[in-house]
């Protein structure tokens, strides 16, 4: 069983799986294809699972793949806590350029479904975080683009001071303004 709540960004859902707790601990179905597709009201076929491990302050993103290589993602946290951020880049969307920020953790066990056409990134809030996400399209390096995490046009309020944020060299040099022309 999984509950899905659609966000202000059409097609983007926050999901809450049913947790079975007992004196041993807990169990839950982190993914059930039939329940998931029924919950979001559409068929999605994931083809690639990713995992990344990050230290506190690491910010990965904001990334997306262009055109036919765009990826829908189902993001969850196996260990730790992150500030997960999605940006609507669908040119025909009434919420184009708007973003959503949500805390995902191994405590709340929430998941975010991000449709194709979004940029995605997250900031690691706990000492370490292990993030797991399913993708409905394969990685294509040459199709990758990004938005700088501190892009003023988007105006994301990251929960860690900028000087303490750790990014890859690639993410330091992402030029994103062209996306909004």
Ligand X SMILES: Cc1cn([C@H]2C[C@H](O)[C@@H](COP(=O)(O)OP(=O)(O)O[C@H]3O[C@H](C)C(=O)[C@H](O)[C@H]3O)O2)c(=O)[nH]c1=O
For ligand X, which stretch binds (CB under 6 A), given 20-28, 102-110, 118-126, 172-180? Answer: 118-126
Known catalytic residue at 33? no
CB of 50 to ligand X, least distance (A): 5
Q: What string marks each residue from 60 to 79 as x (binds ligand X by CB under 6 A) or -?
A: xx-x----------------
| Under rule CB under 6 A, residue 148 binds ligand X | no
Give the 3-state secondary structure of the chain: CEEEEECCCCCCEEEEECCEEECCEEECCCCCHHHHHHHHCCCCCCCEEEEEEEECCEEEEEEEECHHHCCCEEEEEEECEEEEEEEECCCCCCCCCCEEEEEEECCCCCEEEECCCEEEEEEECCCEEEEEEEECCCCCHHHEEECCCCCCCCCCCCCCCHHHCECCHHHHCCCCHHHHC
With CB under 6 A as the contact rule, the residue among 168, 175, 177, 180 that binds ligand X is 168
* Nearest-approach distance from CB 133 to ligand X, in angstroms: 7
99 as an active site residue: the answer is: no
What are the catalytic residues? 63, 133
Q: Which residues bind ligand X (CB under 6 A)?
A: 50, 52, 60-61, 63, 120-122, 139, 168
């Amino acid at each position: 069983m999984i509950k899905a709540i659609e966000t202000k960004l059409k097609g983007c859902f926050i999901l809450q799986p049913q947790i079975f707790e007992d004196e041993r601990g807990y169990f839950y179905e982190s993914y059930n294809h039939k329940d998931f597709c029924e919950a979001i009201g559409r068929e999605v076929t994931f083809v690639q699972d990713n995992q990344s491990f990050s230290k506190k302050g690491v910010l990965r993103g904001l990334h997306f793949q262009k055109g036919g290589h765009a990826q829908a993602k189902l993001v969850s946290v196996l260990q730790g806590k992150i500030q997960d951020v999605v940006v609507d880049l669908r040119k025909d969307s009434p919420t184009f350029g708007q973003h959503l920020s949500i805390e995902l953790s191994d405590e709340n066990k929430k998941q975010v479904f991000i449709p194709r056409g979004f940029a995605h990134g997250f900031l690691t809030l706990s000492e370490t975080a292990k993030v797991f996400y399913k993708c409905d399209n394969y990685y294509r390096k040459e199709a990758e683009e990004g938005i700088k995490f501190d892009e003023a046009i988007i105006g994301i309020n990251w929960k860690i001071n900028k000087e303490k944020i750790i990014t890859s060299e690639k993410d330091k040099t992402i030029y994103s303004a062209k996306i909004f022309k």
